[in-house]
Structure formats: structure tokens, C-alpha cells
């Protein structure tokens, strides 16, 4: 299966800009389906970015993050060719991990 | 409101009591106590995400309140046509930023997202949030142990709750 995580990490000098897009329904647990039954909550709780053995950025998410979430941030201390590891876990215990080379 | 804060407050008191008892018990082992505490802070703040009002969520997440600051720059649209996807970002000129959180006041649960920053990570983040209706959006920046906030009103024409 293709990874649920799409990530782009570009180094510009000392600063690396990271953009990530994850495929996930991010159901709030408050919305009803066409039969009038509640769709149970299903959302990513934690998203972690790790580079050179260090957690550079950790996101804790609730249900108010949009479907197919997007996040962008920048960090220092990495160079082109370094690997960035991205992993998420959701409230049902599912998870996914991917690595991206910093370009 | 009083019915919900009442038992919560007692529970917190009990927890605080238990924590101080534990600290006294570990009085001769101060190094054993601190890493355990750090680990607890790294966990997913489930309690904070369940708070309905933004003030309660900030309290549950950080245990203190924030002061408005013009060093926190919150960027969000004046009018969001689709409340399901509202692009929102925060940047700040503050030093020693350890976390940034987003709260949507009128949502069923106020806390939307909370980000933790390591040393060397630039204090700024962009993401997309759901908003139930026209609401106050609050960004909290934790810098050097203090909380700073910025607020913006976002008009939502179509709510983000579907259904």
C-alpha cells in the first residue's frame, strides 16, 4: 500500500522547510452518515518528525484538524541528504511511518 | 458548568495531593522523580482535548493562563468559505518557544492542535483546521515557561461539521 504520508523537505542553507500531507479521514465522532448513524471518531492523535535521532517537531491533534491534514514547519541543524522520519498514530491505534530524504 | 467543574476540581485536588505525597516519598531520590514527570508531559494530552471551553483547555494543557502578546502573529482568513478547511498559521519572534497550540472557541471541543518544538526548530507552524461556525481563534505560544496568546475572529459561511 502506498504510504498515507506525503512529505517534502527542502534544505535552504541551515534551514529545512518541511511540508507534510497525510491521508486520513479525521472523523470527529459528531457527524452522522446518510443513515443517521454517528460516524465514530477516527483521527490522528500524534504526528512526529524525527531527524538525526532527535524529535524536531511533534504534533498532538484533536478532531478539529481538517480531513487529510496538512502541516508545515521549519527547523535548523539538518543538511541535504539527511533522513527525516515521519510517523503518526491515531485514536484507533493505527499508525504509519515513512522516511524522506532532505532535498 | 458548576456540575462539570465541581468533580473535576476535586479530582485535581486529589491528584495534586497524591503527587505531593509521592514527592515526599521520593524526597531522597529527586533524580528518579524528574524523568518520570517529563515522560508524563510527552504523552498525548487526552484530557485537554476533551475540554469544551477554550479557558478550560488551556488550563488542562498548560496549567496556567496566557497573556496577549503582539509578538505572536496569527494568520487566518477574515472569512472562511468552507469551515471544514481553514488555513491557519502562527509565527512568533519570541525566544525559547517550546510549544504552540490552536484553539477554536466555538467548536464542540476547543483545543484543535498542539505542537511541540525542539531546540533549533523554528517557532512557527501552518496547518488546516475545522471550524463549526463564526468563531474566535486563539493561538497560544509557550516560550521560556510563559504563555502568550493572539486572537482573531474568523467568519465562517459554511460550517465544518458536515451532516
Check CB contact under 8 Å for B111 and A64: yes
Check if the beta carbon of residue A50 is closer than 8 Å to that of residue A56: yes
In terms of Cβ atoms closer than 10 Å to its own Cβ (0-12, 13-18, 19+), residue A101 is exposed
Contacts of A59 in chain B (CB under 8 A): 113-116, 127
**CB nearest A66 (choices: B84, B115, B118):** B84
Q: Using only C-alpha atoms, what is the Rg of chain A?
A: 15
Using the Cβ of B55 and the Cβ atoms of chain A, whether some distance falls under 8 Å is answered with no
* φ and ψ of B32, to 5 deg: -70, -30
Using the Cβ of B114 and the Cβ atoms of chain A, whether some distance falls under 8 Å is answered with yes
Please give, rounded to a whole number of angstroms, the shortest distance from the CA of B23 to a CA of chain A. Answer: 28
Q: Which residues contact B46 (CB under 8 A, 6 or more apart)?
A: none
Count how many pairs of residues, chain A against chain B, have C-beta atoms within 8 Å.
104
Check CB contact under 8 Å for B114 and A59: yes
Question: In tens digits, what is the pLDDT along chain B, a chain of 163 residues?
Answer: 444 455 555 666 655 655 555 444 444 444 444 444 444 456 899 999 999 999 999 999 999 999 999 999 999 999 998 999 999 999 999 999 999 999 999 999 999 999 999 999 999 999 999 999 999 999 999 999 999 999 999 999 877 665 4
pLDDT at residue number B17: 56
Please give, rounded to a whole number of angstroms, the shortest distance from the CA of B145 to a CA of chain A. Answer: 18
Using the Cβ of B84 and the Cβ atoms of chain A, whether some distance falls under 8 Å is answered with yes
Contacts of A63 in chain B (CB under 8 A): 49, 109, 130
Pick the range with the lowest mean pLDDT from A20-24, A38-42, B25-29: B25-29
How confident is the model over A42-55, as a mean pLDDT? 94
Check CB contact under 8 Å for A66 and B85: yes
Using the Cβ of B125 and the Cβ atoms of chain A, whether some distance falls under 8 Å is answered with yes
Check CB contact under 8 Å for A56 and B89: no
What distances in angstroms separate CA A74 from CA A58, A102, B72, one per listed residue?
12, 12, 17
Q: Which residues contact B136 (CB under 8 A, 6 or more apart)?
A: B54, B104, B105, B106, B151, B152, B153, B154
pLDDT at residue number A2: 72
Q: Where exactly are the structural domains of chain B?
A: 2-42, 64-158
What CATH code would you report for B64-158?
A: 2.60.40.2470
pLDDT at residue number B9: 58
How confident is the model over A54-73, as a mean pLDDT? 95
Query: Among residues A11, A86, A2, A30, which one has the least CA distance to residue B162?
Result: A30
How does pLDDT run across B7-47, given as a tens digit for each residue? 555 666 655 655 555 444 444 444 444 444 444 456 899 99
How confident is the model over A91-99, as a mean pLDDT? 95
Query: Among residues B62, B143, B91, which one has the least CA distance to residue A60?
Result: B62
| pLDDT of A76 strictly over 90 | yes
Number of CB atoms found within 10 A of residue A86's CB: 23
Domain A5-29+39-101 has CATH 3.30.1370.60: no
| pLDDT of A21 strictly over 80 | yes
Q: For a pLDDT cut of 90, what percent of chain A falls above it?
A: 88
Please give, rounded to a whole number of angstroms, the shortest distance from the CA of A102 to a CA of chain B. Answer: 15
| pLDDT of A60 strictly over 90 | yes
Using the Cβ of B115 and the Cβ atoms of chain A, whether some distance falls under 8 Å is answered with yes
Contacts of B109 in chain A (CB under 8 A): 62-64
Check if the beta carbon of residue B154 is closer than 8 Å to that of residue B131: yes
Amino acid at each position: 500500500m502506498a504510504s498515507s504520508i506525503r512529505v517534502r523537505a527542502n534544505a535552504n542553507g541551515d534551514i529545512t522547510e518541511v511540508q507534510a500531507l497525510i491521508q486520513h479521514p479525521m472523523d470527529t465522532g459528531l457527524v452522522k452518515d446518510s443513515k443517521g448513524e454517528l460516524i465514530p471518531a477516527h483521527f490522528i492523535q500524534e504526528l512526529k518528525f524525527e531527524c538525526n535521532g532527535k524529535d524536531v517537531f511533534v504534533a498532538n491533534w484533536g478532531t478539529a484538524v481538517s480531513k487529510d491534514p496538512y502541516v508545515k514547519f521549519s527547523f535548523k541543524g539538518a543538511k541535504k541528504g539527511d533522513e527525516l522520519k515521519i510517523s503518526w498514530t491515531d485514536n484507533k491505534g493505527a499508525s504509519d511511518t515513512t522516511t524522506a530524504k532532505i532535498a | 458548568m458548576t456540575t462539570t467543574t465541581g468533580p473535576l476540581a476535586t479530582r485535581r485536588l486529589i491528584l495534586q495531593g497524591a503527587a505531593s505525597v509521592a514527592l515526599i516519598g521520593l524526597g531522597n531520590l529527586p533524580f528518579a522523580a524528574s524523568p518520570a514527570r517529563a515522560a508524563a508531559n510527552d504523552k498525548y494530552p487526552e484530557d485537554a482535548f476533551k475540554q469544551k471551553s477554550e479557558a478550560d483547555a488551556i488550563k488542562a494543557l498548560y496549567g496556567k493562563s496566557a497573556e496577549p502578546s503582539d509578538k505572536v502573529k496569527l494568520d487566518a482568513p477574515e472569512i472562511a468559505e468552507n469551515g471544514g478547511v481553514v488555513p491557519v498559521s502562527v509565527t512568533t519572534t519570541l525566544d525559547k518557544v517550546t510549544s504552540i497550540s490552536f484553539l477554536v472557541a466555538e467548536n464542540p471541543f476547543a483545543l484543535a492542535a498542539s505542537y511541540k518544538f525542539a531546540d533549533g526548530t523554528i517557532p512557527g507552524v501552518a496547518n488546516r483546521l475545522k471550524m463549526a461556525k463564526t468563531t474566535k481563534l486563539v493561538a497560544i505560544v509557550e516560550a521560556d515557561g510563559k504563555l502568550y496568546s493572539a486572537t482573531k475572529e474568523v467568519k465562517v459561511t459554511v460550517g465544518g461539521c458536515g451532516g
